[in-house]
Protein backbone atom coordinates (compact mmCIF):
# COMPACT_ATOMS: atom_id res chain seq x y z
CA UNK A 1 0.00 0.00 0.00
CA UNK A 2 1.29 3.44 -0.91
CA UNK A 3 1.01 5.66 2.16
CA UNK A 4 2.81 8.63 0.64
CA UNK A 5 0.78 11.79 0.13
CA UNK A 6 0.62 12.58 -3.55
CA UNK A 7 1.85 16.06 -4.40
CA UNK A 8 -0.40 17.56 -7.09
CA UNK A 9 1.35 18.15 -10.40
CA UNK A 10 0.02 21.64 -11.06
CA UNK A 11 0.90 24.78 -9.12
CA UNK A 12 -2.78 25.79 -8.96
CA UNK A 13 -3.59 22.45 -7.33
CA UNK A 14 -0.70 22.79 -4.92
CA UNK A 15 -1.92 26.28 -3.99
CA UNK A 16 -5.42 24.91 -3.50
CA UNK A 17 -4.22 22.02 -1.34
CA UNK A 18 -1.91 24.19 0.75
CA UNK A 19 -4.57 26.83 1.47
CA UNK A 20 -7.62 24.55 1.74
CA UNK A 21 -7.78 24.47 5.57
CA UNK A 22 -7.29 28.26 5.75
CA UNK A 23 -10.03 28.80 3.16
CA UNK A 24 -12.43 26.55 5.10
CA UNK A 25 -11.73 28.48 8.27
CA UNK A 26 -12.25 31.78 6.51
CA UNK A 27 -15.56 30.68 4.94
CA UNK A 28 -16.73 29.61 8.37
CA UNK A 29 -15.78 32.83 10.09
CA UNK A 30 -17.41 34.92 7.35
CA UNK A 31 -20.63 32.90 7.34
CA UNK A 32 -20.75 32.87 11.17
CA UNK A 33 -21.09 36.67 10.99
CA UNK A 34 -24.27 36.16 8.89
CA UNK A 35 -23.31 38.65 6.16
CA UNK A 36 -26.45 37.87 4.17
CA UNK A 37 -28.94 38.15 7.00
CA UNK A 38 -29.29 41.92 6.72
CA UNK A 39 -28.04 44.72 4.50
CA UNK A 40 -26.30 46.13 7.58
CA UNK A 41 -24.29 42.94 8.04
CA UNK A 42 -23.61 42.82 4.31
CA UNK A 43 -22.19 46.36 4.51
CA UNK A 44 -19.61 45.08 7.01
CA UNK A 45 -18.75 42.21 4.65
CA UNK A 46 -18.26 44.83 1.90
CA UNK A 47 -15.70 46.56 4.14
CA UNK A 48 -13.76 43.26 4.23
CA UNK A 49 -13.98 42.95 0.46
CA UNK A 50 -12.89 46.56 0.02
CA UNK A 51 -9.86 45.92 2.21
CA UNK A 52 -8.62 42.88 0.33
CA UNK A 53 -9.32 44.29 -3.13
CA UNK A 54 -7.51 47.49 -2.13
CA UNK A 55 -4.60 45.35 -0.95
CA UNK A 56 -4.22 43.65 -4.32
CA UNK A 57 -5.14 46.61 -6.56
CA UNK A 58 -1.45 47.53 -7.21
CA UNK A 59 -0.88 44.10 -8.79
CA UNK A 60 -3.41 44.79 -11.55
CA UNK A 61 -1.25 47.75 -12.62
CA UNK A 62 2.04 45.84 -12.60
CA UNK A 63 3.37 45.59 -16.17
CA UNK A 64 5.20 42.26 -15.75
CA UNK A 65 1.96 40.66 -14.51
CA UNK A 66 -0.18 42.32 -17.21
CA UNK A 67 2.23 40.72 -19.71
CA UNK A 68 1.47 37.30 -18.26
CA UNK A 69 -2.30 37.64 -17.74
CA UNK A 70 -4.05 39.26 -20.72
CA UNK A 71 -6.62 41.87 -19.66
CA UNK A 72 -5.47 41.80 -16.02
CA UNK A 73 -5.96 45.53 -15.45
CA UNK A 74 -9.66 45.25 -16.23
CA UNK A 75 -10.13 42.43 -13.69
CA UNK A 76 -9.50 44.60 -10.64
CA UNK A 77 -12.70 44.66 -8.55
CA UNK A 78 -11.82 47.49 -6.17
CA UNK A 79 -13.93 50.05 -8.02
CA UNK A 80 -16.90 47.65 -8.10
CA UNK A 81 -16.69 47.15 -4.32
CA UNK A 82 -16.50 50.93 -3.89
CA UNK A 83 -19.65 51.29 -6.00
CA UNK A 84 -21.37 48.56 -3.98
CA UNK A 85 -20.65 50.51 -0.80
CA UNK A 86 -21.94 53.71 -2.42
CA UNK A 87 -25.10 51.88 -3.59
CA UNK A 88 -25.85 51.17 0.07
CA UNK A 89 -25.00 54.72 1.16
CA UNK A 90 -21.78 53.56 2.82
CA UNK A 91 -18.24 54.89 2.67
CA UNK A 92 -15.06 52.91 2.13
CA UNK A 93 -13.17 52.26 5.38
CA UNK A 94 -10.39 54.66 6.41
CA UNK A 95 -6.92 53.14 6.05
CA UNK A 96 -3.82 54.11 7.95
CA UNK A 97 -1.65 51.54 6.16
CA UNK A 98 -0.43 51.06 2.59
CA UNK A 99 -2.06 48.29 0.53
CA UNK A 100 -0.45 44.98 1.50
CA UNK A 101 1.04 44.34 -1.96
CA UNK A 102 2.25 47.91 -2.54
CA UNK A 103 5.98 48.02 -3.20
CA UNK A 104 8.14 50.56 -5.07
CA UNK A 105 9.59 47.95 -7.45
CA UNK A 106 6.39 45.93 -7.66
CA UNK A 107 5.85 42.62 -5.90
CA UNK A 108 7.97 39.65 -7.05
CA UNK A 109 6.16 37.47 -9.59
CA UNK A 110 6.01 34.42 -7.27
CA UNK A 111 4.39 36.45 -4.47
CA UNK A 112 2.04 38.15 -6.93
CA UNK A 113 0.90 34.75 -8.22
CA UNK A 114 0.01 33.70 -4.68
CA UNK A 115 -2.02 36.84 -3.99
CA UNK A 116 -3.75 36.75 -7.39
CA UNK A 117 -4.62 33.07 -6.95
CA UNK A 118 -6.50 33.92 -3.75
CA UNK A 119 -8.34 36.98 -5.02
CA UNK A 120 -9.18 35.72 -8.50
CA UNK A 121 -10.17 32.34 -7.04
CA UNK A 122 -12.61 34.06 -4.73
CA UNK A 123 -14.61 34.88 -7.86
CA UNK A 124 -15.51 31.20 -8.10
CA UNK A 125 -17.05 31.04 -4.64
CA UNK A 126 -18.72 34.39 -5.40
CA UNK A 127 -21.41 32.50 -7.36
CA UNK A 128 -22.85 31.34 -4.02
CA UNK A 129 -22.44 34.71 -2.38
CA UNK A 130 -24.23 36.46 -5.24
CA UNK A 131 -27.15 34.06 -4.87
CA UNK A 132 -27.46 34.95 -1.18
CA UNK A 133 -27.08 38.68 -1.93
CA UNK A 134 -29.89 38.46 -4.49
CA UNK A 135 -32.21 37.10 -1.81
CA UNK A 136 -31.71 40.45 -0.04
CA UNK A 137 -32.72 42.34 -3.20
CA UNK A 138 -29.16 43.18 -4.27
CA UNK A 139 -27.82 42.49 -7.76
CA UNK A 140 -24.90 42.87 -10.15
CA UNK A 141 -26.25 46.40 -10.80
CA UNK A 142 -26.82 47.37 -7.17
CA UNK A 143 -24.78 46.49 -4.13
CA UNK A 144 -23.32 43.22 -5.40
CA UNK A 145 -21.41 44.40 -8.47
CA UNK A 146 -18.13 42.92 -7.27
CA UNK A 147 -19.71 39.44 -7.12
CA UNK A 148 -20.78 39.54 -10.80
CA UNK A 149 -19.78 36.74 -13.12
CA UNK A 150 -16.95 37.58 -15.54
CA UNK A 151 -18.19 38.03 -19.15
CA UNK A 152 -16.86 34.62 -20.24
CA UNK A 153 -18.36 32.81 -17.22
CA UNK A 154 -16.77 31.91 -13.88
CA UNK A 155 -15.51 28.43 -14.74
CA UNK A 156 -13.99 29.34 -18.16
CA UNK A 157 -12.30 32.40 -16.66
CA UNK A 158 -10.89 30.39 -13.75
CA UNK A 159 -9.68 27.65 -16.10
CA UNK A 160 -7.89 30.22 -18.29
CA UNK A 161 -6.43 31.97 -15.22
CA UNK A 162 -5.09 28.68 -13.86
CA UNK A 163 -3.62 27.72 -17.24
CA UNK A 164 -1.65 30.97 -17.31
CA UNK A 165 -0.61 30.54 -13.67
CA UNK A 166 0.55 26.99 -14.33
CA UNK A 167 2.44 28.12 -17.42
CA UNK A 168 4.75 30.39 -15.40
CA UNK A 169 8.02 28.58 -14.82
CA UNK A 170 9.02 28.76 -11.15
CA UNK A 171 11.88 27.01 -9.43
CA UNK A 172 11.33 25.26 -6.12
CA UNK A 173 12.23 28.29 -3.99
CA UNK A 174 9.94 30.53 -6.03
CA UNK A 175 7.09 28.10 -5.58
CA UNK A 176 7.58 28.16 -1.85
CA UNK A 177 7.32 31.97 -2.06
CA UNK A 178 4.11 31.76 -4.12
CA UNK A 179 2.48 29.39 -1.64
CA UNK A 180 3.60 31.50 1.33
CA UNK A 181 2.10 34.59 -0.35
CA UNK A 182 -1.24 32.80 -0.85
CA UNK A 183 -1.23 31.94 2.86
CA UNK A 184 -0.42 35.57 3.68
CA UNK A 185 -3.32 36.72 1.48
CA UNK A 186 -5.78 34.42 3.27
CA UNK A 187 -4.40 35.54 6.63
CA UNK A 188 -4.91 39.14 5.56
CA UNK A 189 -8.58 38.47 4.73
CA UNK A 190 -8.94 36.80 8.14
CA UNK A 191 -7.53 39.94 9.80
CA UNK A 192 -10.02 42.08 7.89
CA UNK A 193 -12.84 39.72 8.93
CA UNK A 194 -11.85 40.15 12.58
CA UNK A 195 -11.68 43.90 12.10
CA UNK A 196 -15.03 44.37 10.37
CA UNK A 197 -17.11 41.28 11.17
CA UNK A 198 -15.65 40.09 14.45
C1 LIG B 1 -12.88 37.08 0.66
C2 LIG B 1 -13.08 35.85 1.06
C3 LIG B 1 -12.75 34.65 0.20
C4 LIG B 1 -11.63 34.33 -0.49
C5 LIG B 1 -10.35 35.14 -0.58
C6 LIG B 1 -11.87 33.07 -1.16
C7 LIG B 1 -10.96 32.41 -1.98
C8 LIG B 1 -11.27 31.33 -2.80
C9 LIG B 1 -10.38 30.68 -3.72
C10 LIG B 1 -8.91 31.02 -3.91
C11 LIG B 1 -11.08 29.72 -4.36
C12 LIG B 1 -10.55 28.80 -5.48
C13 LIG B 1 -10.08 27.47 -4.91
C14 LIG B 1 -9.55 26.57 -6.03
O15 LIG B 1 -10.38 25.87 -6.64
O16 LIG B 1 -8.34 26.56 -6.27
C17 LIG B 1 -12.41 29.72 -3.83
C18 LIG B 1 -13.43 28.86 -4.20
C19 LIG B 1 -14.59 28.69 -3.50
N20 LIG B 1 -15.01 29.45 -2.42
FE21 LIG B 1 -14.03 30.98 -1.58
N22 LIG B 1 -13.13 32.63 -0.84
C23 LIG B 1 -13.70 33.56 0.00
C24 LIG B 1 -14.92 33.50 0.59
C25 LIG B 1 -15.78 32.46 0.45
C26 LIG B 1 -17.03 32.32 1.18
C27 LIG B 1 -17.58 33.29 2.23
C28 LIG B 1 -17.61 31.18 0.73
C29 LIG B 1 -18.90 30.57 1.13
C30 LIG B 1 -19.18 30.09 2.28
C31 LIG B 1 -16.73 30.59 -0.27
C32 LIG B 1 -16.95 29.43 -0.95
C33 LIG B 1 -16.21 28.95 -1.98
C34 LIG B 1 -16.58 27.82 -2.81
C35 LIG B 1 -17.84 26.97 -2.62
C36 LIG B 1 -15.57 27.66 -3.75
C37 LIG B 1 -15.47 26.58 -4.81
C38 LIG B 1 -16.35 26.92 -5.97
C39 LIG B 1 -16.31 25.86 -7.05
O40 LIG B 1 -15.42 24.99 -7.03
O41 LIG B 1 -17.17 25.95 -7.92
N42 LIG B 1 -15.62 31.38 -0.39
N43 LIG B 1 -12.51 30.73 -2.89
Residue 124 Cα to ligand 1 midpoint, Å, equals 6
- What per-residue confidence (pLDDT) applies to 75? 97
96 is in which domain, residue-wise? 35-197
What distance in angstroms lies between residue 2's CA and the mean position of ligand 1's atoms? 31
Predicted pLDDT at 6: 77
Residue 72 CB partners (closer than 8 Å, separation 6+)? 59, 60, 65, 66
Ligand 1 atom 9: residue of nearest CA: 121
- Tell me how many domains the chain contains: 1
User: 184: which residues sit within 8 A by CB, 6+ positions away?
Assistant: 100, 114, 115
Please report whether residue 13 resides in a domain: no
d(CA 104, ligand 1 centre) in Å: 30
State whether the beta carbon of 126 lies less than 6 angstroms from ligand 1. Answer: no
Q: Are 7 and 14 contacting, i.e. CB atoms less than 8 angstroms apart? A: yes
Q: To 5 degrees, how large is the angle CA 14–CA 78–CA 13?
A: 10
Sign of the alpha-carbon dihedral angle for 31, 153, 186, 93: negative
Measured distance CA(165)–CA(179) in Å, rounded: 12
Cβ(125) to ligand 1 under 6 A? yes
pLDDT digits (tens, 9 = 90+) for 112-156: 999 999 999 999 999 999 999 999 999 999 999 999 999 999 999
Q: Is residue 8 part of a domain?
A: no
Q: Is the dihedral of CA 110, 113, 119, 122 positive or negative?
A: negative
Residue 21 CB burial class (10 angstroms; 0-12, 13-18, ≥19)? exposed
Q: Does 4 reside within a domain?
A: no
Intervals of the chain under pLDDT 50: 1
Domain containing residue 123: CATH number: 1.20.910.10
Amino acid sequence: MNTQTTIPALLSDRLRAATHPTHEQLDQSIMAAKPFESVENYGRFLAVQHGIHRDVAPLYEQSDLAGLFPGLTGRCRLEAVGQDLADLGLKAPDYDEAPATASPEGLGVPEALGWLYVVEGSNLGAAFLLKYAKKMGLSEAHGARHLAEPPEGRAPYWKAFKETLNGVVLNEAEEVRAIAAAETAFARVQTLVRRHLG
